[in-house]
Structures are given as C-alpha cells and as structure tokens.
A = this chain, B = another copy of it.
Amino acid sequence: MTKAAKHDASAVNGADITRGLAAYVVGSRFEDIPAEVRHEAVRSLINCIGCCVAGSRHETVDAAVAALKDLGATGDAVVLGRGERFDPMNATLINGISSAVLDFDATQFKRTNIHPSGPVLPPLLGYMTAHKVSGRDFLHAYILAIEVACRLANGVFGEVNPGWHVTGATGGIGAAAGIGKLLGLDTEKMVAAFGIAATQAGGLREMYGTMCKSFTPGRTAQNGYLAAMLAARGFDSAERGIEGDKGLAMVMTGRPAEHEILHDLGKQFEIMFNIYKPFACAIVSHAAIDGALQLRKAHSITVDKIAGVHLLVSPPTLALAGKREPRTGLESKFSVYQGVALALQYGDADPRRFEDSYAVDPALAALRALVTTDVDAKLAKDQAEVTITLTDGRVVKTRVEHAVGSLVNPMSDADLDDKFRGLCEEALPKDKIMKLLALCRDCERLPDASVIASAAAIDSK
C-alpha cells in the first residue's frame, strides 16, 4: 500500500476512539487512498447499485414507498430503479431498504457479517441531489464511511453480540462519516456527528425474516445522514459517544470498545474484506452451485442430457441449506438441491430464480430429484465436489476449493459486471444498464457524481 496519511498518528496515540476516528476522517486525503482500495470501492459501488435497482421492485419497497407518499414525501432525489422521486432523506430510506431486501449486498467478512454499503451509499447519493460532488470526493467519502462502519462493527461487537443487527448498530456512524466528509466538517463537528449517530443506533435480530430486516439499513442510513447535517449546524453531542461509560459500546454490549478500532488507520482498509455474493441464496450452498456451473460450461451440458448429480458437501451445507423440497422462494434459498438445479437449468442463480414460481416449477422439481448428496466432514463450507453422470454414460467431476465469491476466490470484475447486468435487467433497458455500469466504473473521473443516481432512475432527468 502507499504511504499512510501523516495526520492520523496523533489521533491514534492514546486518543479517544470517537475523536480518533473523527480526526482520521477529517484529515484523510484522496491521494492517501491506495489504488486497489479505490478499485475495490468501485466494485462495491457496482454491487450495491445493482442490488438497489433489483431490490427496488420488491413488495417491501412498495409498502415503504406507499407509506412515504402517505406522509407527503416529494422531491428531486432519485429512488434507484423506480420512477418516484423524494426528498434526499426519504429517498435514502427507500434506497437503503432496496439495497438489502434481496440479501445480495456485499458482506464484510471479518469478525461480523456487516453489510456496510446499505447504510452509507444511499445518503451520499441523496446528498448529491442538491450539491455538486466530484466522483473522486464521492468515492473518497464512500470509502471512509465503510471504514468507520466496519471498524466499529468489528471492534465494538466482534464475535459476541447480544442480538443487535450490526449493520444498524454501526452503519449510521459510517453514514455520518461519509456525509460529514462531503460537508467538510472539522473534527469537533465530526465527533458530534458520530455521537448523534451513535445515540440513534439500533436494529434487533428478532426482525430477521421480516421486512424490518431490510428496513434497518434504510433507517440507519437516514440516522447518519441527519446526524451529519445536524452537526454541521452546531448541534452538539457527547465527546465519547462510542467509548464512554454510557456510550454505544458499553450500553449495547456491556463491554468497552476495543482500541484496535484505531489500529493502522489509513494503512489497512476495511473495504478490502468485502465479499460479493454471486448467487442469491445461502452462502453454504455456493461451492456446489459454483461446481455445477463450471461443469455445465466446460462440457456444454444441457439438462436433457443429465442422468444424475452427486454433491459431496460440508456439514453446514446440509444443516443450513438441506431443504429437499422447497415450497416457496424463501425456502428455496436454503436448498442446495434447488440451487444446483437452477444452475444447471439456467446457468445462474440470480435473485429472480428465488421467486416462488421457480420453487414450484415441475421441470426444476424433476431436476432436483436427480441430485443426491453426501457429507464430508473434512470439507470447509466454501468447498464441494460435484459429479454429473450424463445420459450417454460419461461422468464429469470437479472439486471446488474455494467457492467463487469467497475472499480467496473473489468475483472478478467481469463476474460483477454480469451480476450487475442481471440485477438491472428487469428494471432498466439494456442501453441504460450499460451506461450506468460505465459511469460506476468511471466514477473517479466524473466531474459530478450525481449522474450515477440519475442513470439508475426509471424516469431519468
């Protein structure tokens, strides 16, 4: 990595966590961000925009849009993938919900499973509705926002969490960092913004499996956005909102925040631990799906030529995704049988394949019936062996050492582009999809990054 920012050293040495993080964000310069970090941010941007566009068509989003209309919401800010426009704050809510509703957004794969983009990207897009921001500044703010959200997730919650939805618990402080950076807040005001965001932190795991799961990143995004806007106008807060005796860490977990949060700030970047799901289903079924896709492609297999499929999988794969006969789209996300059948039938396992109609499709049920499984305790959860017997008697086989999309074997840029096109294809015409993708890839060179959101609206200005 390149040289670290000089200004962060003083912030780190013995300083408080809230202030240390704030000082880092305030002092960070775009030139200090290594090229590979900026590149990863563009990948993360593409993934999140794609998830928002696809997610925007979900009934969860319809319900939230209807409620905001009841409240009189109007404005100029883009709701990604839809025709409505709201004020920036309300657009932020919807875009945050859309980002998460397919369970397909990026995961930071360290000590927690935080999805950092959902809370931090929508406020930046909303802010740019009325303020001209260059692509560089936008990308910089996005990177810093993810940095803050993830460092806090790992250093406040780590592996032990009484039941908080981590994305909600620390994502808002990330959002405040991002908007605060665009606003040019000084350290005092950034500290205040972090505190105002911290006191709004929430999100209960009890909500998993309901619309409230994707509501949390949306509301959290608004919390952080509002926090920074308030701080800019002199609204004050506690000095030690994160590490104080009655601050975020102690009150939410009963443990102090780890000083590790400030370690190697500006040298190690959290976004480098983002992983992107290639398939819209349980992560433990990804290795088997990956193997099936590899064989399908290598041997030009069509489903009429398949006599049998055998999967050798890790124990968690069958424990978490062993549903033999899924009856709904949601259940089919937890069926490695259905995942492999979809892969063989369609060559993908995109979100639309996990709608109810696919779960009850007789052709897929017949294909599913050809799939047998065995568990091998020596396999890790991103490993699998897939064997396909063809009707002509041939047997083809592959072993997946690290499923595509894992940290060791990440989705390539081309994979992400494919995922993006798949995510957008129902909402946007092909030429708009290609334009939107090009704008994201070209983000650093945009004089005005608001064009990204505009290109992701159905009725673009």
Residues of A within 8 A of B (CB): 59-60, 63-64, 66-67, 70-73, 75, 87-89, 130, 162-165, 168, 195-196, 198-212, 215-216, 219, 223, 226, 229-230, 232-238, 240-241, 244-248, 250-251, 254
- Evaluate contact between B195 and A199: CB separation under 8 angstroms: no
What B residues does A199 contact at CB under 8 A?
A: 165, 168, 202-204, 206-207, 212, 215-216
Q: B67 and A226: CB pair below 8 A?
A: yes
Chain B nearest CB: distance from A124 CB in Å? 14
Interface CB pairs A-B, < 8 A, 22: A60-B235, A64-B233, A67-B229, A70-B232, A70-B233, A71-B89, A162-B254, A163-B247, A163-B250, A195-B210, A199-B203, A202-B202, A204-B238, A204-B247, A206-B246, A207-B241, A208-B246, A211-B236, A211-B237, A212-B237, A212-B238, A254-B254
Q: Are A237 and B207 in contact (CB under 8 A)?
A: yes
Q: Quick one: which of B60, B63, B204, B235 contacts A251, CB cutoff 8 A?
A: B204
Provide the residues of chain B in CB contact with A229, threshold 8 Å: 67, 70-71
Chain B residues positioned under 8 Å from A230 (CB to CB): 63-64, 67, 215
| CA A44 to CA B454, docked complex, whole Å | 48
Which listed residue, B63, B165, B234, touches A234 by the CB 8 Å rule? B63
In the complex, are the beta carbons of A232 and B67 less than 8 A apart? yes
The residue in chain B whose Cβ has the minimal distance to the Cβ of A254 is B162
Nearest chain B CB to A40's CB is how many angstroms away?
Answer: 30
Residues in B neighbouring A203, C-beta threshold 8 A? 199
Distance between A77 CB and nearest chain B CB, rounded to angstroms: 9
Q: How far is the CB of A73 from chain B (nearest CB, A)?
A: 8
- Provide the bound-state CA to CA distance between A198 and B130, in Å: 33
A237 to B72, CA, bound (A): 23
A206-B251, A240-B206, A245-B163 known; A233 vs B63 contact (CB < 8 Å): yes
Are A162 and B251 within 8 A (Cβ)? yes
**Given A67-B235, A168-B199, A204-B251, list of 13 further CB < 8 A pairs?**
A63-B230, A71-B87, A72-B75, A162-B254, A195-B207, A195-B212, A196-B212, A199-B212, A202-B202, A205-B251, A206-B244, A207-B238, A208-B246
| Complex: A244 Cα to B212 Cα, angstroms | 15
What residue in chain B is nearest A237 (Cβ atoms)?
Answer: B212
Residues in B with CB closer than 8 Å to A226 are 67, 71, 219
CB of A67 within 8 A of CB of B207, answer: no
Contacts of A165 in B (CB 8 A): 199
Which residues of B sit under 8 angstroms from A235, Cβ to Cβ?
A: 60, 63-64, 67, 211-212, 215
Whole-angstrom distance between the Cβ of A63 and the nearest chain B Cβ:
4
Q: CA separation between A257 and B200, bound complex, in Å?
A: 22
Determine the distance from Cα of A208 to Cα of B207 in the docked complex, in whole angstroms. 29
A254 to B162, CA, bound (A): 8
Complex CA gap A66/B226 in Å reads: 12
- A86 vs B165: C-alpha distance in the bound complex, in angstroms? 32
Q: Which residues of B contact A196 (CB under 8 A)?
A: 212, 215
A87 / chain B contacts, CB cutoff of 8 Å: 71-73
Bound CA span A11–B382, Å = 47
The residue on B at minimum CB distance from A198 is B204
A75 to B71: give the CA distance in the assembly, Å: 11
A89 to B240, CA, bound (A): 29
In the bound complex, CA of A212 to CA of B72 (Å)? 27
For A67, the chain B residues whose CB sits under 8 A away are: 226, 229-230, 232-233, 235
